[in-house]
Homo-oligomer: A and B are copies of this chain.
Amino acid sequence: MCLSHEVLTAAYQGFLDQLTDAGLLIPSGVPGVYGHSGVFERVLEGFDQSITRRSAHLNAEVIRFPGVLNRQHYLKTSHIESFPDLMGSIHSFTGNERDHLGLLQKRADGEDWTQDLKPTQLMLTPATCYPLYPTATGTLREGGRTVDLRSFVFRHEPSIDPCRMQMFRMHEAVRLGSPEQALAHRGLWMELGKEILNAAGLNVECVVANDPFFGRGGRVMAVSQKEQSLKFEMVIPVATAEKPTAIMSCNYHLDYFGKAFGIHTADGQVAHSACMGFGLERVTLALFKTHGFHPDRWPADVKHELGL
Beta-carbon contact of B86 and A124 below 8 Å: no
Beta-carbon contact of B122 and A33 below 8 Å: yes
Q: How far is the CA of A148 from the CA of B42 in the complex (A)?
A: 14
Q: How far is the CA of A193 from the CA of B158 in the complex (A)?
A: 39
A268 located at the interface, meaning its Cβ lies under 8 Å from any Cβ of chain B in the complex: no
Q: How far is the CA of A135 from the CA of B33 in the complex (A)?
A: 12
Beta-carbon contact of A84 and B100 below 8 Å: yes
A residues 64-79 touching B (CB-CB < 8 Å): 64-70, 72-73, 75
Choose one: B33, B75, B94, B132; the contact of A70 (CB below 8 Å): B33
Choose one: B34, B65, B84, B88; the contact of A90 (CB below 8 Å): B88
Specify which chain B residues have a CB less than 8 angstroms from the CB of A35 in the assembled complex.
Answer: 63-65, 131-132, 135
A292 located at the interface, meaning its Cβ lies under 8 Å from any Cβ of chain B in the complex: no
Beta-carbon contact of A117 and B90 below 8 Å: no
- Shortest C-beta distance, A140 to chain B (Å), equals 16
Q: In the complex this chain forms, how many copies of it are found?
A: 2
- Shortest C-beta distance, A291 to chain B (Å), equals 20
A115 located at the interface, meaning its Cβ lies under 8 Å from any Cβ of chain B in the complex: yes
Specify which chain B residues have a CB less than 8 angstroms from the CB of A26 in the assembled complex.
Answer: 63, 135
Nearest neighbor of A151 in chain B, beta-carbon distance: B152
Q: How far is the CA of A120 from the CA of B156 in the complex (A)?
A: 8
Contacts A29-B70, A70-B29, A122-B30 hold; do A103 and B88 have CB atoms under 8 A apart? no
Beta-carbon contact of B38 and A100 below 8 Å: no
- Shortest C-beta distance, A72 to chain B (Å), equals 7
Beta-carbon contact of B92 and A89 below 8 Å: yes
A107 located at the interface, meaning its Cβ lies under 8 Å from any Cβ of chain B in the complex: yes
Choose one: B29, B70, B87, B104; the contact of A72 (CB below 8 Å): B29
- Shortest C-beta distance, A280 to chain B (Å), equals 11
A17 located at the interface, meaning its Cβ lies under 8 Å from any Cβ of chain B in the complex: no
Q: How far is the CA of A205 from the CA of B30 in the complex (A)?
A: 41
- Shortest C-beta distance, A246 to chain B (Å), equals 19
Specify which chain B residues have a CB less than 8 angstroms from the CB of A87 in the assembled complex.
Answer: 92-93, 117
A37 located at the interface, meaning its Cβ lies under 8 Å from any Cβ of chain B in the complex: yes
